Amino acid sequence: MKRFIKTLKTTAAIAAVATVAFAPSMAKADASLNTDITASVLNAFNLVETTPMSFGSFAIFTDGATSTTIDLDLADTGTYDSANDGTTRTLPITAPTTGVFDISAAAPTAEINIAYSASVSLVCGVGGGCSGAEPDFTVDTWTDNSVAGVITTDVAGAFTLTTGATLTSDAAAAVGAYEDGTYTGTLTIDATY
Amino acid sequence: MRNAGLLSIIILVGFVFWCPVLAYATITEQQALSFGVFALRDNAAAYDMVVSPTGSVSNHASYVMISPGQNAVFDLTDLPPDTLLGVSIGDISLSPDAGGGPSFDAVDFTFSPANPVTDVSGAVTINVGGTLRTSGSGAMYSDAAFSGSATLQVIF
């Protein structure tokens, strides 16, 4: 009987110690799960030229003292400056075309800022069929269908940008200085969110 | 004496079997938390994007959303019935899966219901939202997928 009581006491003690030891886990258990959280940055989108800007073909007369201009508006109609009609002027031969640039794969209904090179020189040179001694043209004063330099993409993240500009001849170009040839330059358009 | 030994075994075996039953719980992820796809205008300051537990998204203007994120959904089962749970997720960083550049912080996780209680079958579904925060270092983020592993902790 004594041994029975002693054994029972021992068992009770073990149970009590075990209960105390494990009590916190019984009163407050926990479980956990690892989960992946993601985000994706996509700043890049497409900007593709579909129609190069062109001032067409024209004849030009210069006097070595004044410049002349062709203003290319968004309706593809070049306005030819004839203020200096006695000397420096241009005469259209083929029509100019505005530049057309497609933006795609951008964020939907997002504002994108449009910026152009300050100016672009159109150079003929040997590659364009000239001697290299001819003067350049300058193109600047960009106009486009943005609102103060900001366009808004459609729900598909697309926009068609139409761009015009003004071509100006070199005021110092002497009579006959501009040679027959193709004058080209590279315009850089920055489109950023 | 034999009875005492038997009683000891019953008490200890009963204890051993009793404890794991109380500590058992199952967490199943039905939907992971995502902050979606977006462009960033700059990283000049710490900009926040918040995905609520219901999935609505609000963001600083520097985020340009391409496709929205979504809240997380977890099913909690095998829990004691009618029990108030404590749920939490610690802040983590989201690093680019490829390339370098700054990381994002995912912080301030929120839960719906805020104080979940299991039903009579010991189950409850919780929705989780969080805040994505840019580093504000000025360095631009590269185009990449960013990810990090968070731990959902459930206390009951």
**Residue to substitute from A3, A40, A103, interface B, most B β-carbons within 10 A:** A40
Query: Please, which residues have CB within 8 angstroms of residue B71's CB and are 6 or more apart in sequence?
Result: B31, B33, B51, B52, B53, B54, B55, B127, B128, B129
Tell me if A171 sits within 8 A of A67, measured CB to CB.
yes
Report how far apart the first and last C-alpha atoms of chain B are (Å, whole number).
40
- Per-residue pLDDT of A61-109, as tens digits, reads 998 988 999 999 888 888 887 565 557 889 899 999 999 999 999 999 9
Cβ distance A107 to B65 less than 8 Å, yes or no, reads: yes
Instruction: Say what the pTM is.
Output: 0.79
Token pair of A76 as six digits = 């593809």
Residues of A in contact with B141 (CB under 8 A): 41, 43
Instruction: Please name the residue of chain A whose CA is at the shortest distance from the CA of residue B73.
Output: A35
Residues of B in contact with A14 (CB under 8 A): 8, 11-12
Q: Which of B94, B145, B153 sits opposite A32 (nearest CB)?
A: B153
Residue B141: DSSP 8-state: P
Neighbours of A99 (CB within 10 A): 20
Tokens 């609102």 belong to which residue?
A147
- Per-residue pLDDT of A26-51, as tens digits, reads 457 899 999 999 999 999 999 999 99
Which of B104, B21, B113 is CA-nearest to residue B74? B113
Tell me if B150 sits within 8 A of B88, measured CB to CB.
no
**Chain A residues near any Cβ of chain B (below 8 Å):** 3-4, 7-8, 10-11, 14-15, 18-19, 22, 25-26, 28-44, 107-108, 110, 157, 192-193
- Per-residue pLDDT of B53-106, as tens digits, reads 999 999 999 999 999 999 999 999 999 999 999 999 999 999 999 988 999 999
Cβ distance B5 to A7 less than 8 Å, yes or no, reads: yes
Cβ distance B143 to A18 less than 8 Å, yes or no, reads: no
- Per-residue pLDDT of B6-51, as tens digits, reads 555 555 444 444 444 455 799 999 999 999 999 999 999 999 999 9
Residue B49: DSSP 8-state: E
User: What amino acid is encoded at A159 in this protein?
Assistant: F
- Per-residue pLDDT of A115-153, as tens digits, reads 999 999 999 999 999 999 999 999 999 999 999 999 999
| Residue A49, min C-alpha distance to chain B (Å) | 23
Using DSSP, how many helices (H) and how many strands (E) does chain B show?
Answer: 1, 11
Tell me if B61 sits within 8 A of B41, measured CB to CB.
yes
What span, in angstroms and rounded, lies between the C-alpha atoms of B145 and A42? 9
What span, in angstroms and rounded, lies between the C-alpha atoms of B121 and A84? 93
**Which string of DSSP letters, residue by residue, matches chain A?**
-HHHHHHHHHHHHHHHHHHHHHHHHHHS-EEEEEEEEEEEE----EEEEEE--B--EEEEE--SS---EEEE-TTS-EEE--TTTTSSEEEEEE--B-EEEEEESS-TT-EEEEEE-S-EEEB-TGGGTS-S-SPPEEEEEEEESSBTTEEE--TTS-EEEEEEEEEE--TTPPTT-SPSS--B----EEEE-
User: What amino acid is encoded at B95 in this protein?
Assistant: S
pLDDT of A77: 81
Max CA separation in chain A (angstroms)? 137
Which of A66, A13, A53, A58 is CA-nearest to residue A142? A53
Cβ distance A37 to B149 less than 8 Å, yes or no, reads: yes
Tell me if B86 sits within 8 A of B154, measured CB to CB.
yes
Q: Which of A30, A40, A44 sits opposite B153 (nearest CB)?
A: A30
Residue A58 has pLDDT above 70, yes or no: yes
What span, in angstroms and rounded, lies between the C-alpha atoms of B130 and B109? 4
pLDDT of B128: 98
Cβ distance A37 to B26 less than 8 Å, yes or no, reads: no
